[in-house]
Amino acid sequence: MQAWVIGNWKQNPATKHEVNTLLDSLLAAINSDENDTVNKVTHCQLMVAPSCIHLAAVSTRLKDTSVLCAAQDISAHSDSVGAYTGDCSAQQVADAGATWTILGHSERRQYHQESHDVLLQKLTHALITNLGVVFCIGETQAQYDAKQTFDVLDKQLAVIKSLLNQELEQQPEFINTLNERLIIAYEPVWAIGTGKVPTVNEVSATHEHIKHMVAGFAVPLSNISVIYGGSVNAANADSFAANAMINGALVGGASLKADSFLAIANAFSHTKA
């Protein structure tokens, strides 16, 4: 199974110049003949999610490369146009060159109170616009401490079930292609940007639970990719990559440096080859 290593740049870098510098070093390393990165990352699909303002420029630079470009979010209100100040629609981010979007990141849930219904709208808009979706779920520290992780994840995954219920009626073949267009990112909120990580065994057991739940929604989803996010770095990537339940990584801080991002990609490519 191909691994996914996805960089979530969040509200970074600050300037166009810094975006280009980051892309220069990323593409130079990927294209370098002296470097065996190309061979190593062939089993690993790379993707980066720049902020909305940099999306068109980044996707233009990535056009003829192996690196995919994603949005970090899309509007819940309309898949196209409308009076929704500050929003960018699925159609607009696709037109800017994104082929995927992250949805439900914990920072969106925390700072923008994204609910089940909002996420269902966004998921629907993305998929009908042919954007793939990296759907993020994860528990808080308090929920982890109270051993509520699986309950929390089940509630968050219910959005996928609602999506299937509504889409199945309209488009029976929709579900058969969903495996290729939907990735679940398990991101414990307490591990994001903190340097704290769950054990590989904990992540593995959680991914097994997620895969089991999603397969229960629809049989064709039994091969869904589930990736881990939360303080993944060049030093710990090998241990996550070595586990068969972990199909890749969603990377925040370490994706802002080409070296650490590609070290993570190499770790996954190596073990999934």
Catalytic residue ranges: 105, 187
For residues 174 and 261, which CB has a smaller minimum distance to ligand PEP in the complex? 261
Query: Angle at CA 91, nearest 5°, toward 90 and 96?
Result: 100
Per-residue interface string for the shown chain with ligand PEP, residues 50-79, x marking contact by CB under 6 A: ------------------------------
Applying CB under 6 A, does 133 fall inside the site for ligand PEP? Answer: no
Q: Which residues fall within 8 angstroms of residue 118, CB to CB, at 6 or more apart?
A: 76
Applying CB under 6 A, does 251 fall inside the site for ligand PEP? Answer: yes
Identify the residue among 4, 8, 89, 126 touching ligand PEP (CB under 6 A). Answer: 8
CA distance 72 to 122: 12
Phi, psi dihedral angles at 159 (to 5 degrees) = -60, -40
CB of 213 to ligand PEP, least distance (A): 21
Identify the residue among 73, 79, 114, 187 touching ligand PEP (CB under 6 A). Answer: 187
Name the residue among 261, 262, 252, 260 with its Cα closest to residue 229: 252
For residues 192 and 213, which CB has a smaller minimum distance to ligand PEP in the complex? 192
For residues 192 and 218, which CB has a smaller minimum distance to ligand PEP in the complex? 192
Which residue's entry shows tokens 């808009």? 125
The stretches of the chain forming alpha helices (DSSP H) are: 16-31, 37-40, 55-62, 90-95, 106-112, 116-128, 141-145, 149-170, 178-181, 200-217, 237-241, 258-272
CB of 268 to ligand PEP, least distance (A): 14
Per-residue interface string for the shown chain with ligand PEP, residues 220-239, x marking contact by CB under 6 A: ---------xxxx-------
Tokens of 189: 């909120």
Interacting residues toward ligand PEP by CB under 6 A: 8, 187, 192-193, 229-232, 250-254
